[in-house]
Amino acid sequence: MTIDPQIEWVLDLIEKSPYPPVYTLSPPAARAQYDETATKLDIDPAPMDSIVEIALGRESRFVRTRLYTPRQTGEADPLLVWLHGGGWTVGSLDSYDRTCRGLAAQADCRVLSVDYRLAPEHPFPAAVEDAMFVWETLQARTADYGIDPARIAIGGDSAGGNLSAVLCHEARKAGLPMPCFQLLIYPATDMTGGFPSRKTFDEGYLLEKAHMAWFGDGYAGEADRADPRMSPLRYPDFAGQPPAAVHTAGFDPLQDEGIAYAEKLEAAGVPVASRHYAGLIHGYFNMGGAVDAARAAFDDAAADLRAALHPET
């Protein structure tokens, strides 16, 4: 494997950066730094027809969300529910604004970005509970927001990919409507850490051993990391899961478990688009403004989403 030369430039930039590693900071300081830096290499913000903040909830419980509408159609629109990355610890609606705009514009769909609770203040299973709460609440509100209930996808990167995969399994167990599609970008699927790539690429490729320990310890707390709601690769039954696109990167410690997850879906008869970007690293989804191959991979993800939400075209 050969790393993309523009990725090498990014890694050199990070090494020379005055910003300290997030794992050396308090969680609030890490979040503030992440929000400040996350968009520096990202794609330009796509124009939207409207962006609306929604406190989505019921019975005195609410989760903050942001609804992106690329264009007004006058019809019930397809929707992507987006769960952001950041090790369940950092990341926000603001740091993923350009991601959501880009997916909405290119996939011709609306995007609902979810501000789930973050660790370590809110460890596992808080993020899972928030994702499920939003999903269940949304089912009764699709007419209010002009959403086509048959065309609601779920997606996310890294920790968000983990939560998206978990939601699909938990929705099926709870008898809730299932997503029509799942977009999993370099997802964390096995928090027990047994796959070789977690060691092979744990230094020098952005997501390092110290990051993974800090994120994982804060999120897991005292919980069993083999719990499928934390490690969705360990769910016993993959039959009936939504069609998926699983994207992985060649210099990413999480690549093995992402590939294993796609293989498990395929073995259960689930339609899967498995896309592997050999020269890229974890985090490339937010680097499309500086790395051509990252932008191409982002475009592939948007195309996968568009094909799932607009099957007639």
Selected catalytic residue, list 77, 97, 252, 304: 252
Bridge partner residues of 64 (DSSP):
55
CB-CB contact of 288 with 295 (8 Å): yes
Q: What is d(CA 272, CA 222) in angstroms, rounded to the nearest whole number? A: 34
Q: Peptide bond before 125: cis, by omega within 30 degrees of 0?
A: yes
Candidates 158, 164, 197, 231; catalytic one: 158
Is 26 annotated as catalytic? no
| Count of C-beta atoms within a 10 Å radius of residue 181 | 25
User: What is the C-alpha to C-alpha distance for residues 11 and 96, in angstroms, rounded to an integer?
Assistant: 21
For residue 252, indicate whether it is catalytic.
Answer: yes
Containing H/E element for 106? helix 97-107
Sheet containing strand 50-58, edge to edge, reads 50-58, 61-69, 110-114, 77-83, 147-157, 182-185, 244-249, 272-277
**Cα 167 to the chain's mean position, in Å?**
12
Angle of helix 159-174 versus helix 126-139 axis, rounded to 10: 60
* Gap between the Cα atoms of 13 and 7, Å rounded: 10
Residues constituting the chain: 313
Residue 282 annotated in active site: yes
DSSP 24-89: GS-HHHHHHHHHHHTTTTSPPPPP-SEEEEEEEEETTEEEEEEEEESS--SSPEEEEEEE--STTT
Structure tokens at 257: 């478990």
- The letter for the amino acid at 217 is D
Describe the crossing of helices 5-15 and 292-309 by its angle, rounded to 10 degrees.
Answer: 110
Looking at the annotation, which residues are catalytic? 158, 252, 282
